[in-house]
Amino acid sequence: MKVIVADKISERGVQLLKEQPGWNILLTTNDTLSKEIADADALIVRSATRVTAELLDQAKKLRAVGRAGVGVDNIDLEAATKRGVLVMSTPGGSSVSVAEHTFALLLALVRQLPKFDAAMREGRWEKSSSGAEVRGKTLGLIGLGRIGSEVASRAEAFDMRVVAFDPFISEAAARELSVELVPLDQLLAECDFISLHTAVSAQTREMINAGSIAKMKKGVRIVNAARGELINEADLAAAIKDGHVAGAALDVFAEEPPKNCPLIGLPNVIATPHVAGSTAEAQEELGTQVALQIKDYLAEGIIRNAVRREPAGSFGGPVPARAPVPGIGGAARLAGFAGGGVKAGADSHPVCGRGSRSRYASAAQRGVGGRAERSAGRKGERRQCTRGGRGKRLDRGRGDSQARTWLPEHPGSLRTAGKNRISARFYGRRHCAS
């Protein structure tokens, strides 16, 4: 097997692939990728490498592309589908990091931290009354998937009211997060803060524009750590200049790096260079997760987190694949929707739902980012796993899915289908006691 790692991933992920007998693991750059892709069985990328139709035409043996991250907008899904190439993403690996960065942006924006920091660096002591509390304010989340859910839990700790617009989340799932589902127009009209957590699709591209901004309350603040294409940057800049929007905190831009973005440099705009998911923990998790998924697919035919081209009318972009992966029956497809693993050519699946309320989620119950509906999440819930008489408590956190996948190559490993908070951490046998 020849596996090309085109973008840098964690050393643990690379080592996991190198441990496979007879596998050739090749680290390439954009300059050398086209020369090596012809006989490759799999390709691993992050966001820097673009997997185009032209590149896929050169990859005569390619079976899978693994994306170390959530978004797959750098991969031509339609071209991959036509050529029978499986595309897998790694949802959940960076959810906590992105959620924490989102909240950091929100707090920095409302308390004007960059302004005060700049003043101190210039020797000015500007001890003035400015900013506002977030307590009691309303936060609107457009998208309540993995990251949106993590942001919601942090907002609750700050005593904020949280509302969300997400057509694929049930009322019951939202209630478990103490989130109120509302229509989009109501969210725009009521919220003091609006945070974006959806993929780019025909329905969401530039959804923040002059028309939607006009529906927002005066003084609203906007946070975006999802995709820059969700915002019409010129319209938002105009709204900030005329005072209708109090400010914006952005980690993503329509063009990256931004060259002529009208938002950069505005006094009420905080900008970071698409680093929300770039923590050491997230990168370690993403690299290990994508390597594990590629290994399991090539060696065992097990498919996890497959994506396909965005269907017409979808709200959130690419969704888990039901087709055209050969040989996957109905039960296996259902397991794929639940975020676990499915084995090509089989109608059964290795995902087990345990616990009194566990269940599998249908596609319609998944979050915008592809998250399975939270089923038995309770705040502070913990599980005890044992190995050789020694136990380690694993904090599942609020709302983790109960569906779990046992990894056959690692007896004693446990993966959660949902936020994958403990994926690639191997703490116990196939025994887990509540």
Tokens of 261: 């973005």
Listed residue (342, 334, 341) closest to 366, CA to CA: 334
Residue whose structure tokens are 């993929």? 199
Please answer whether residues 286 and 94 qualify as being in contact, where contact means their C-beta atoms are separated by less than 8 angstroms: yes
On the CB side of 216, CA atoms within 13 Å amount to 28
- The Cα–Cα gap between 95 and 5 comes to 23
Q: Is 392 helix (H, G, I), strand (E, B) or coil?
A: strand
63 is catalytic: no
Within 8 A by CB and 6+ apart from 240, the residues are 246, 247, 248, 263, 266, 268, 269
Strand partners, 415: 405
- The Cα–Cα gap between 384 and 290 comes to 27
274 is catalytic: yes
227 is catalytic: yes
Tokens of 377: 């999440």
Own/partner contacts of 393-398, CB < 8 Å, gap of 24 or more, are 394/422, 394/425, 394/427, 396/421, 396/422, 397/153, 397/421, 398/153, 398/176, 398/177
Listed residue (174, 121, 117, 107) closest to 143, CA to CA: 174
- The Cα–Cα gap between 48 and 137 comes to 38
Question: Among the options 67, 227, 398, 415, which is catalytic?
Answer: 227
Q: Quote the DSSP letter at residue 126.
A: -
Rounded to the nearest angstrom, the gap between the alpha carbon of residue 283 and the centroid of all alpha carbons in its chain is 13
- The Cα–Cα gap between 71 and 369 comes to 9
Question: Among the options 54, 126, 133, 256, which is catalytic?
Answer: 256
- For 426, list phi and psi in degrees, rounded to 5: -105, 100
- The Cα–Cα gap between 49 and 314 comes to 26
Question: Among the options 221, 274, 349, 374, which is catalytic?
Answer: 274
Which residues participate in catalysis according to the annotation? Answer: 227, 256, 274
